[in-house]
Amino acid sequence: MVNKTPKHILITGGSSGIGEALALEYAAPGMRLVLTGRDAKRLSKVAKACESNGAEVMTKAIDVADRFAMADWLSQIDDAAPLDLVIANAGISMGTSGEGDSEEKIRDIFAVNLAGVLNTIHPVMERMQDRKQGQIALVASIAAFRGLPGSPAYAASKAAVKSYGEGLRPRLARHGVGISVILPGFVRSRITDQNTFSMPFFMEAERAAKVIRTGLANNKARIAFPWPMHFLMWLLATLPASWADKLLSKSPEKE
């Protein structure tokens, strides 16, 4: 059963962008938040802001790509108090993936954006099924609708997350666990801060967090926004490949 008012929430990538905004959106008296991030200083700053709103906060600077470290840690968290909602939000793009040659950066993107999601949800998924209660949110992207020449690895990693979440939803629903796939467009974050090109229908992270929270409370299968961007990407995905290739041939490159 999905709890419309979750009290124990885990958010990966909680030190900036959508993750930070979600933490602040949910922060309130009686709320227990577990936040992860790669930057301990930024994470501490977010935690203090959430605590000032009355929430109890635990933080962990951990690499979501480390499967066994995540499994051990998440088991400890859930043993201490069952998680109501897990938001697998951590993600990177070429501009935020660190140094290295192109192939190394691409592999980093898949390690965080795809494997990191699996490492976040699988340690708690069976536990939620046994309890017949809980909710999992997978943060993909509007870019998941179609391979993009400007960011092929990012789009592909998010497409895998989208497809996996959509496939899991009916299977886990039989066990009382909700699965939602979140598909944001351009939202203010460390990723979009790296972009030097025009970003249509740009949205502030605080607004995105409110849209996501409302969608999760209603157990929506897809939480895609803003709607004009969602419609355009859906339309692009329905076009013949040769037409889409021509439209995308002059798109800006990020990778």
CATH number of the domain residue 186 falls in: 3.40.50.720
Mean pLDDT of 19-25: 97
Residue 71 falls inside a structural domain? yes
d(CA 106, CA 94): 7
Mean pLDDT of 124-141: 97
Percentage of the chain lying above the pLDDT 70 cut:
91
- Tell me if residue 10 falls in helix, strand or coil: strand
Residue 3 falls inside a structural domain? no
d(CA 179, CA 72): 23
Mean pLDDT of 196-217: 87
Residue 236 falls inside a structural domain? yes
d(CA 113, CA 104): 14
Residue 28 falls inside a structural domain? yes
Alpha carbon 201 to chain centroid, angstroms = 19
Residue 254 falls inside a structural domain? no
Residue 240 falls inside a structural domain? yes
Domain that holds residue 104: 8-248
Q: What is the pLDDT of residue 228?
A: 85
Q: Are 149 and 253 in contact (CB under 8 A)?
A: yes
Higher pLDDT pick, 54 / 245: 54
**Number of domains the chain contains:** 1
Q: In what order do the strands lie in the sheet with 8-11?
A: 56-61, 32-37, 8-11, 85-88, 135-139, 178-184, 222-225
d(CA 203, CA 7): 27
Residue 111 per-residue DSSP state: I
pLDDT at 155 over 60: yes
d(CA 113, CA 154): 8
Residue 148 falls inside a structural domain? yes
> Which residues lie closer than 8 Å to 92 by C-beta, 6 or more apart?
108, 109, 112, 113, 191
pLDDT at 100 over 60: no
Q: What is the pLDDT of residue 140?
A: 98
- Mean pLDDT is lowest, of 44-48, 145-149, 251-255, for 251-255
Q: What is the pLDDT of residue 98?
A: 46
